[in-house]
Amino acid sequence: MKPPICRICDKKLVDMDDGGLIYFKKRPSDIEWEKRMEKIGGVGHPPNAEWFCKKHYNKAIKLNHLPINEALEILRS
């Protein structure tokens, strides 16, 4: 997993009261990544998941029905 640092503002999350990890709608490439990891017994940070600080978490969770690239585009605007 990636360290808990907000994808939007780079704030380091010290504990889970500072924000959290959000999983977004899987894209075809995310499904392929999962299949590759399963096949090789690999682990890692899922490409459809990101950390967000408390400031950005509530906005981001409302967008978790979207693929991560679309959600991040909205969050950055």
Report the predicted TM-score, pTM, of the whole model to 2 decimal places. 0.91
Residue 44, domain extent: 16-76
Residue pair 18/60 in contact (Cβ under 8 Å)? The answer is no
pLDDT-based confidence at residue 56 (cuts at 50, 70, 90): very high
pLDDT band at 71 (very low <50, low <70, confident <90, very high): very high
Residue 56 counted as domain residue: yes
pLDDT (tens digit per residue) in 1-43: 799 999 999 999 998 889 999 999 999 999 999 999 999 999 9
> Which token pair is 14?
């010290």
Number of structural domains the chain divides into:
1
Tokens encoding 73: 């585009």
List, in order, residues 6 or more apart from 39 with CB less than 8 Å away.
none
11 occurs within a structural domain: no
- Output the pLDDT for position 77: 92
